[in-house]
């Protein structure tokens, strides 16, 4: 029987009544918060309609060269925000004969846009390839950030006679655990010919290569070593291939030999943490009691033991190490195991191993109170109330325990949208005009560039402007960039509501759940693409879309079609509905499956845990955060829309996980 019973239908235009009500309600909340009008300095998109047509003509003219006709059109554009884009395209074709002064003039003209840095990179690459080093250096007042350009920079320093700076830079760039960009070859060749790495630098790079799992590089650096170091490099390479080799170690005590032991023990811990533990005990004479190298090995053994299904180090040793090492990453892993096992008494004290900053987070305060409750501590009502005043997944859980209302802790804008600098205005105007032309990715790049140039406390003020202009994803970007977590109007805008509501009716799921999922998945950016290839608002994988559409007898239009909300939303909602059918309507499990896959969730849910234990012991950190965020976002969206909200259903609370 097909998992996908409901047919996907493309959404017709036109606003439905409930969608109208929600959008109107959210708009009223925005107006009530004080965001009422766009500033005078930003013209409406309609004001540039004529210039937009001219701009498109100018782009067409550039295909045949920047002739007189192009120049006439370009001059007619006046202060049009995208005139700088035309100049950028023309200047790229003039790099060969361009002087440093001309380059700096354009970079200044493009200030406030990502075109400035993009042009600088193109200019530097061109001058480096032409070996015009003085023109290369004349546009720089600091070392470039990109390793490729750093290599060119130090080669330029060498060409103008500053050998000390050039060779120091070469040594730093060479000393990494991977192969540098090909642009570094010429610099390294000159440095090696004149000076080259000493044994200390060769050994340092070999250890970095070991850590980076780059065995080829360990062998490569051997050619630069003295005969004495070559023997140690051969041993390091042998331990890399077979880390258990250190178990029979009875060699001399030396700094480099200790480095080999640390590298080998760390690598052995990944394969068999118990054997690494035994080897470390037998080799303890090589380490001082407070040696940081010993701590590094201990951390590796503890970490891999906590994840190992077989061959972990002894439990009592692990417990002592987690407490002694005071490493928050290890402590959190340890505590999650305690949560999954229901070790309440231990949790009450072991949460204290976290750093004060982490210990004070809602999650760990929840588990501190929850564990105290489980062992019969009655003096916790005040702690539950404190936690219930927080807007978070765990704060909402605490509110449920007290049957108290959820706290939103919303905050509106401090006043009218400010004027901002000329550079910021230019960036906003360019982002708006790119949107008007359908260049959404370029617009997103410009927007993020603009907000990142502002002081953190000013960034969310641009989000207010985005909200008024109808740019929901850009509003959320601004609030997030400014860490303005209480600006819920900016962080949780409503977008594509009609499409979400139609999908919700078709699939019989909550429309706010779909909206919350899309907010978490893509930030409501329709062109979002993940590192693994998920696309669009609901971050649908192409393989998933193909399967869903084949089950429905619909044509799959390729990965690019998933950027269309009218395709992405029904496909994503159909897939979520199928997962909910598989997991008996349980949203906690279904959301985990949407993120990590249903097979994994089936393997993870055979432990008879309570829902909160399971939600905080999901093996994948991304999935843990995802499930909790989507459920909390749904509550926020519903409450802001004036709808009743409950974090979980009674069935979800009572289910075994």
pLDDT tens for 242-290 read: 999 998 866 677 899 999 999 999 999 999 999 999 999 998 888 876 7
**Exposed/middle/buried for 313, CB within 10 Å: 0-12, 13-18, 19+?**
buried
630 and 531 within one domain: yes
> Would 10 be classed as within a structural domain?
no
Whether residue 502 is found in the same domain as residue 406? no
Give a yes or no: residue 8 inside a domain: no
**pLDDT tens digits for 427-468?**
999 999 999 999 999 999 999 999 999 999 999 999 999 999
Q: Is residue 116 part of a domain?
A: no
Residue 238 covered by a domain: no
% pLDDT > 70, the chain: 94
Give the pLDDT of residue 251.
60
Q: Is residue 144 part of a domain?
A: no
Q: Check whether residue 501 and residue 406 sit in a common domain.
A: no
Average pLDDT over every residue of 18-35? 48
Model pTM above 0.85: yes
Instruction: Indicate which residues carry an active-site annotation.
Output: 521
Report residue 536: phi and psi, to 5°. Answer: 80, -170
Mark whether 386 and 521 lie in a shared domain.
no
Query: Tell me, what's the pLDDT at 346?
Result: 98
Q: Note whether 47 and 75 are within 8 A (CB).
A: no
Residue 81 has pLDDT above 80, yes or no: yes
Is there a domain that residue 392 lies in?
yes
Q: Are residues 619 and 523 in the same domain?
A: yes
The last residue of a domain, from among 382, 412, 442 = 412
Among 378, 395, 412, where does a domain finish?
412
> Quick one: average pLDDT of 324-343?
97
pLDDT band at 37 (very low <50, low <70, confident <90, very high): low
In a domain, 634, yes or no: yes
Q: What is the pLDDT of residues 374-432, one digit of tens each?
A: 999 999 999 999 999 999 999 999 999 999 999 999 998 888 888 899 999 999 999 99
Do the beta carbons of residue 258 and residue 287 sit within 8 Å? yes
pLDDT surpasses 50 at 470:
yes
- Tokens linked to 517: 């999922």
What is the average pLDDT value for the chain, to the nearest integer? 93
Claim to verify: residue 639 and residue 524 sit in the same structural domain: yes
Residues 644 and 508 in one domain: yes
Domain extent for 172: 151-193
Model confidence band, residue 32 (pLDDT cutoffs 50, 70, 90): very low
Domain co-membership, 393 together with 506: no
Residues ≥6 apart with Cβ < 8 Å to 526: 440, 473, 496, 536, 537, 563, 564, 565, 568
Q: Provide the number of structural domains found in the chain.
A: 3
Q: How confident is the model at residue 606 (pLDDT cuts 50, 70, 90)?
A: confident
**506 and 374 share one domain:** no
Are 403 and 503 members of one domain? no
Q: Assess if residue 225 is contained within a domain.
A: no
Whether residue 396 is found in the same domain as residue 535: no
Both 596 and 502 in a single domain? yes
The DSSP line for 184-239 is GHHHHHHHHHHT---HHHHHHHHHHHHHTT-HHHHHHHGGGS-HHHHHHHHHHHHH
Last residue of a domain, one of 165, 193, 221: 193
């Amino acid at each position: 029987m097909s998992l996908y019973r409901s047919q996907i239908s493309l959404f017709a235009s036109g606003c439905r009544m409930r969608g109208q009500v929600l959008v109107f309600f959210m708009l009223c909340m925005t107006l009530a918060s004080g965001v009422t009008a766009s500033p005078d300095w930003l013209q409406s998109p309609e004001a540039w309609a004529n210039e937009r047509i001219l701009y498109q003509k100018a782009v067409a003219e550039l295909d045949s060269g920047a002739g007189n006709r192009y120049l006439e059109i370009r001059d007619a554009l006046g202060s049009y925000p995208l005139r700088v884009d035309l100049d950028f395209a023309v200047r790229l074709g003039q790099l060969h004969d361009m002087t440093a002064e001309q380059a700096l003039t354009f970079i200044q003209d493009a200030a406030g846009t990502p075109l400035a840095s993009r042009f600088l990179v193109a200019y530097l690459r061109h001058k480096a390839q032409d070996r015009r080093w003085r023109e290369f250096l004349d546009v720089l007042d600091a070392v470039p950030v990109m390793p490729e350009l750093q290599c060119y920079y130090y080669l330029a320093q060498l060409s103008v006679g500053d050998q000390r700076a050039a060779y120091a830079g070469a040594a730093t760039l060479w000393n990494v655990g991977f192969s540098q960009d090909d642009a570094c070859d010429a610099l390294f060749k000159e440095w090696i010919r004149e000076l080259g790495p000493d044994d200390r630098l060769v050994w340092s790079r070999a250890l970095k290569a070991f850590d980076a799992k780059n065995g080829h590089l360990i062998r490569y650096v051997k050619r630069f070593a003295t005969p004495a170091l070559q023997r140690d490099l051969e041993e390091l390479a042998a331990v890399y291939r077979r880390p258990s080799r250190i178990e029979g170690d009875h060699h001399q005590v030396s700094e480099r030999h200790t480095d080999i032991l640390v590298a080998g023990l760390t690598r052995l811990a990944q394969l068999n943490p118990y054997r690494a533990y035994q080897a470390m005990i037998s080799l303890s004479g090589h380490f001082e009691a407070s040696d940081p190298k010993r701590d590094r090995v201990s951390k590796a053994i503890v970490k891999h033991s906590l994840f190992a299904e077989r061959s972990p180090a002894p439990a009592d040793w692990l417990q002592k190490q987690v407490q002694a090492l005071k490493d928050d990453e290890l402590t959190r892993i340890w505590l999650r195991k305690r949560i999954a096992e229901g070790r309440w008494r231990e949790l009450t004290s072991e949460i204290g191993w976290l750093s004060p900053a982490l210990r004070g987070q809602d999650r760990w305060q929840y588990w501190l109170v929850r564990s105290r409750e489980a062992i019969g501590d009655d003096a916790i009502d005040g702690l539950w109330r404190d936690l219930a005043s927080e807007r978070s997944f765990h704060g909402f859980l605490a509110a449920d325990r007290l049957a108290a209302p959820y706290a939103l802790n919303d905050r509106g804008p401090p006043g009218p949208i400010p004027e901002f600098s000329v550079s910021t205005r230019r960036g906003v105007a360019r982002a708006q005009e790119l949107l008007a032309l359908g260049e959404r990715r370029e617009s997103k790049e410009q927007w993020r560039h603009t907000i990142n140039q502002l002081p953190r406390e000013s960034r969310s003020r641009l989000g207010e402007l985005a909200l008024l202009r109808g740019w929901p994803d850009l509003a959320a970007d601004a609030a997030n960039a400014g860490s303005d977590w209480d600006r819920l109007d900016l962080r949780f805008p409503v977008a594509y509501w009609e499409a979400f509501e139609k999908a919700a009716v078709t699939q019989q799921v909550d429309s706010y759940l779909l909206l919350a999922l899309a907010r978490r998945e893509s930030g409501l950016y329709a062109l979002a693409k993940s590192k693994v290839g998920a696309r669009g608002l609901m971050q649908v994988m192409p393989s998933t879309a193909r399967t869903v559409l084949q089950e429905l007898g619909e044509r799959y239009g390729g990965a690019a079609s998933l950027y269309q909300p009218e395709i992405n939303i029904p496909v994503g909602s159909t897939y979520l509905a199928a997962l909910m059918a598989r997991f008996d309507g349980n949203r906690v499990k279904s959301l985990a499956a949407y993120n990590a896959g249903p097979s994994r969730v089936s393997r993870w849910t055979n432990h008879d845990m309570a829902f909160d234990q399971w939600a905080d012991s999901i093996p994948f950190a991304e999935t843990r955060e995802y499930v909790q965020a989507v459920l909390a976002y749904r509550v926020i969206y519903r409450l802001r829309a004036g709808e009743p909200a409950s974090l979980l259903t009674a069935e979800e609370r009572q289910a075994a996980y």
